Structure 1
Amino acid sequence: MLDARMRTLIDPVLNTVGRTLAAWGLTANGVTLIGLALGLIAAATIALGAPLLALIPLLFSRIADGLDGAVARATQKTDFGGYLDIACDFLFYGAIPMAFVWADPANNAVAGAWLLTSFYFNGTSFLGYAILAEKHGMETTAQGSKSLYYSNGLLEGTETIVFFVLICLFADAFAPLAWIFGSLCFLTGTLRVYAARQIFTKQEGPTP
């Protein structure tokens, strides 16, 4: 919901830094992998019981996630680069909740399972929509120039990062926050499936 607005604020800065990194010889895929490594370090730090300390690599990980696209725009965008980016994003998104479950399985396991299932469903609805959008020749630049079609939703990357910051700041409240955020993820995925039915069946003709 907030991604498009955030892009207008941060893209000019990211593009400037991205051009500098490209001039230094960094590749977009290299920045993507650096971001993933930082995200996994954050997850390991949470699992070891230091969620506040994990905020540092977590936030730098998301900065890298924004910079890889900027570096690609300054050099050359590739299909594999877009694929690698989304694959690393999904691994990061799963690793953080899993780390909270490992840190306190007695209190966080059930809520963590609910949250991860909601991520799985929401992510599938997102990727499936992108495949159909590509098939139908749909394009959007609302969230910047992307290798995949980014459908909007109630919860997007910005909201997820805010949620991760909150559970790092208030680790004892992970379970109730996970129940709430997971429910909103299920709602986001359901609304996206409904939108896909409205758009793609309209283009293909009525469904019996």
Structure 2
Amino acid sequence: MLDGWAREKIDPGLGAMAGRLAAAGIGANAITWTGLGLGLVAAAAIAFGHFWIGLALILASRLCDGLDGAVARLQGKTDYGGYLDIVLDFAFYGAVPLGFILADPTQNAIAGAVLLLTFYVNGASFLAYAVMAEKRGLATEARGEKSLFFTTGLAEATETLAVFALMCLLPQWFAALAYLFAAVTFYTTVSRIVLAARRFG
């Protein structure tokens, strides 16, 4: 929901950073892999109870997620780059809740599992919609220039980042935050299914 607003705020800065990275010969795919690496280390830090370190690494990871697309637009986008970006993003989104589950399985396991389930189903609804949109030749730039058809929703990258940050700042509230965001994510999935029924049905 907030991704469009966030892009307006951060794109100029990302563009300037991307120009320097591209000039240094650093490729978009390398940045994508770096973002995943930072995200996995963040999840490991969270699993060991180092929540502030986890938060810093999450923010660094998502900076990479913004930079890879900006660099790709300068160097030339590829289908593999777009594919890699989506796959590694989903790996990141699954790793962070797993970190909280491992940090305190007794308190966090069920809530974390519910959140991961909604992430899984929401991801499937997003990717399946993109496939059908491509099949019908549909296009959108609602979230900027992307490799796939992006459907908007209540739970997007900005909201997910905000929730992950809150979880790091208030780890004792992980379960409540996980259930709440699972509900938001489930609503996003249902709204996308309704949209698909109207457009593809």
Q: TM-score range by the shorter chain?
A: over 0.9
Secondary structure in structure 2 of the residue aligned to 1:153: coil
1:92 aligns to 2:92 (yes or no): yes
In the TM superposition, what is the alpha-carbon distance from 1:16 to its structure 2 partner?
1.8
Q: How does 1:52-201 map to 2 (within 5 A)?
A: 52-201=52-201
Task: Report what 1:50 is aligned to.
Answer: 50
In the TM superposition, what is the alpha-carbon distance from 1:141 to its structure 2 partner?
1.1
CA distance in 1, matches of 2:17, 2:140: 24
Identity across aligned pairs (percent)? 52
CA distance in 2, matches of 1:131, 1:152: 15
Residue 170 of structure 1 aligns with an amino acid whose one-letter code is L
In the TM superposition, what is the alpha-carbon distance from 1:5 to its structure 2 partner?
1.5
CA distance in 2, matches of 1:195, 1:142: 15
Deviation per CA, 1:136-191, whole angstroms, max 9, x where unpaired?
11111121111011100011000000000000000000001101110111111011
Residue 171 of structure 1 aligns with an amino acid whose one-letter code is P
Task: Report what 2:41 is aligned to.
Answer: 41
Secondary structure in structure 2 of the residue aligned to 1:145: coil
Task: Report what 1:204 is aligned to.
Answer: none
CA distance in 1, matches of 2:99, 2:138: 37
Instruction: Compute the TM-score of the two structures, normalised by the length of structure 1.
Output: 0.95
In the TM superposition, what is the alpha-carbon distance from 1:8 to its structure 2 partner?
1.6
In the TM superposition, what is the alpha-carbon distance from 1:196 to its structure 2 partner?
0.6
CA distance in 2, matches of 1:121, 1:191: 12
Residue 57 of structure 2 aligns with an amino acid whose one-letter code is P
Instruction: Kindly report structure 1 stretches of 4+ aligned residues shifted beyond 4 Å.
Output: none
Residue 111 of structure 1 aligns with an amino acid whose one-letter code is A
Secondary structure in structure 2 of the residue aligned to 1:106: helix
1:30 aligns to 2:30 (yes or no): yes
Instruction: Compute the TM-score of the two structures, normalised by the length of structure 2.
Output: 0.98
In the TM superposition, what is the alpha-carbon distance from 1:109 to its structure 2 partner?
0.5
Secondary structure in structure 2 of the residue aligned to 1:140: coil
In the TM superposition, what is the alpha-carbon distance from 1:77 to its structure 2 partner?
0.1
CA distance in 1, matches of 2:30, 2:200: 36
Rg larger in structure:
1
In the TM superposition, what is the alpha-carbon distance from 1:200 to its structure 2 partner?
1.3
Secondary structure in structure 2 of the residue aligned to 1:89: helix
In the TM superposition, what is the alpha-carbon distance from 1:52 to its structure 2 partner?
1.6
Q: CA RMSD in A?
A: 0.7
CA distance in 2, matches of 1:80, 1:42: 25
Per mean C-alpha deviation after superposition, the further-off stretch among 5-14 and 157-166 is: 5-14
Residue 46 of structure 2 aligns with an amino acid whose one-letter code is I
- The number of residue pairs the alignment matches comes to 201
Deviation per CA, 1:58-114, whole angstroms, max 9, x where unpaired?
100000000000000010100000000000000000000011000100000000110
